[in-house]
Structure 1
């Protein structure tokens, strides 16, 4: 299993993306969600959503689907 970056989102959107992927049985991970809380830039730093490289294409299709 090799993780690849699916995209960068604000914190709330990253967790919504993760939930959408998990509803389609694609495991994902949210990285950097706790970065820079102490210095006040909590909402400014994008959060990475990572998926297994074998699931990357399927995950992209899910994100492109407006449903």
Structure 2
């Protein structure tokens, strides 16, 4: 589990892959939700599935930020 803070504008990328039995890499299936605004808390979630059970909990990427009150 990792966490980091980004300050200012930056371009970010994430790759979701899993290792096949032959050692090769396969792209994960992705699903996402958001963006959600909960008061001043903003959230977007990306979940990944490797195809063995369909529960989309193999990897989770959560992007969140706080904004000022309007």
By the TM > 0.5 criterion, same fold?
Answer: no
Compare the two structures and name the one with the higher strand fraction.
Answer: 2
Q: TM-score, normalised by structure 2?
A: 0.30
More helix by share: 1
Q: Which structure would you say has the larger Rg?
A: 2
Greater relative contact order (CA < 8 Å, ≥ 6 in sequence)? 1
